[in-house]
Amino acid sequence: MNRLSILTILAAITFGTVPMAEAKKKHDHDHDRDHWRHSERTRTIYVVENRRPVRRVVYIDDRGRYYRHDGGRRSYVSGRYFTSYPSRYFYSDGRPRVGVSINF
């Protein structure tokens, strides 16, 4: 009788702890993989918005195109962009240089 009660207690402890041991923290592995892939392939470019150059950090896809995340969607950079500050066309404060016009 004593042996039966000890075995019952051990069985209850074993069955009570098994689900806890097998429980794993849920991870979104696809999100983690995408996060690390994106963080390695970024670049800083200057995009002309409202007739002024704006510095943007963008991601590079497999084809070499630049995009940003805008509201959970990919928004590809269209139009003119520069890989360094366009000092040929704009002063350092963002004003366009006299005699130079860029039409979009």
Residue type at position 34: D
DSSP state of 86: -
Whether residue 44 is contained in a domain is answered as yes
Give me the pLDDT at residue 34, please: 54
DSSP state of 13: H
How far is Cα 14 from Cα 24, in angstroms, rounded to an integer? 18
pLDDT bin (cut points 50, 70, 90) of residue 103 is low
Range of the structural domain that residue 47 is part of:
26-82
Whether residue 48 is contained in a domain is answered as yes
Whether residue 97 is contained in a domain is answered as no
Whether residue 73 is contained in a domain is answered as yes
pTM of the model as a whole: 0.54
- How many structural domains are present in the chain? 1
Provide the 10 A C-beta neighbour count for residue 53: 20
Token reading at 66? 């630049």
Residue 16 clears pLDDT 70, i.e. is over it: no
